Amino acid sequence: MKEEKASFEHLLSVMPEGWEDKAKELGALQRGREIRNATDLLRLVFLYLTDGKSFSGTAALLKLAGIGSMTKKAVFTRFQKCAGWLQWLCENIYRNNQAISEPPSWLGDKKVYLVDSSDEPVHGSDKADYRLHYAVGLFDLGMKEMALTGTGVGEKLGNFKTFGKDDLVIGDRAYCSKQGIEYLRGAGSGYLLRFGTRRFHTYDERGREVNILGCFKGLQPGESGEAAGYYEYEGEYQPLRFCVLRKTKEAERKGLEVLEKTRMRKHGNKELSKAQRAYNRYVVVVTSITEVAPELILELYRQRRQIDLVFKRLKPLFGCHEIPVHIEQSALAWFYGKLLLAAFC
């Protein structure tokens, strides 16, 4: 018990300045009956997301801990009102620890969003039962959109309905398709997407098919470059800007190890293709941004990768199958609470 108390006190010592006042300001802490202060409210959140498992279980633990005697409905009400507060805590803790940074000035008024998804099982299942799609702000961790679907719904930009003008969407290879790019163009949104094997055919200004990697054969490890290309959609050729980084030998080796592990898991003894090995030597992105140096474009994509690693901690550390999907505010509180636990870990 003493060790647990010391650990919790250590967590409080790294909380951002003004975190207790923000609980009241953002509506998380409204009445001081059973939950008298922000510290008790944080205990409630952490108990629910870890040992509590359910609102009734959390109520029992709160009583045993001497924090207060509450019904499961009261715990639920308290928890779902924490979404905005937990988001503020995540944003400030991640920024204080340099996990996220200020947006570069060249972005201007653009809002940058990371899209991704996660396959999750329900309790007792040994396979993925549903897919969580989410779009979150790269520089403020603000939730743009969240949707829960069956695993038959693929990773595609059309799953997101709220993108508009001045939004810049960053995604990995799964989201790089002609249909997705056209969808964002129709919404007035920009894009920065990882390009790789089997995405779509690319052409030059004369409509001749080209191997885009051929434009970058002269790059040395660590060097970057750019090239123009086109894709064909419904009989018309649309422009693309490619920005490329030639990997170092060490990065190339690590990338090959990841490809090999993925191959063994998904395809058994099937050998990696020449195209996969060729693309592994580069980081290739396509973007709608035209007047910025390729080094800056690639740096922005690299930041996307950093926050993506944070999200990937959620699976091995905490699991995502407990998500309360029926009420949006409760789901948001759950999401930011899990992200906060990942930050502390």
Residues 239 and 167: their CA atoms lie apart, in Å, by 19
Question: In Å, how far are 214, 279, 282 from 218, measured between CA atoms?
Answer: 9, 15, 12
pLDDT digits (tens, 9 = 90+) for 26-73: 999 987 678 889 999 999 998 888 877 788 999 998 888 888 889 999
Per the structure block, which two tokens stand in for 194? 């990882």
Beta-carbon contacts of residue 44 (< 8 Å; ≥ 6 apart) = 35, 58, 62, 67, 75, 78, 79
* DSSP secondary structure letter of residue 52: I
Structure confidence at residue 6 (pLDDT): 67
Q: In this model, does residue 310 exceed pLDDT 70?
A: no
Instruction: Give the mean model confidence (pLDDT) for residues 112-122.
Output: 82
Q: What angle do CA 58, 78, 89 make, to 5 degrees?
A: 100
Residues 333 and 85: their CA atoms lie apart, in Å, by 9
Owner of token pair 């018309």:
236
Domain map (residue ranges) of the chain: 2-97+317-344, 108-114+157-315
pLDDT digits (tens, 9 = 90+) for 8-37: 788 888 888 999 999 999 999 987 678 889
Pick the residue with more confidence: 220 or 99?
A: 220
83: number of Cβ within 10 Å: 23
Distance of CA 212 to the CA centre of its chain: 28
Q: In this model, does residue 157 exceed pLDDT 90?
A: yes
**Closest C-alpha among 93, 145, 120 to residue 340:** 93
* Mean confidence (pLDDT) of the chain: 86
Per the structure block, which two tokens stand in for 60? 């029992």
pTM (two decimals): 0.79
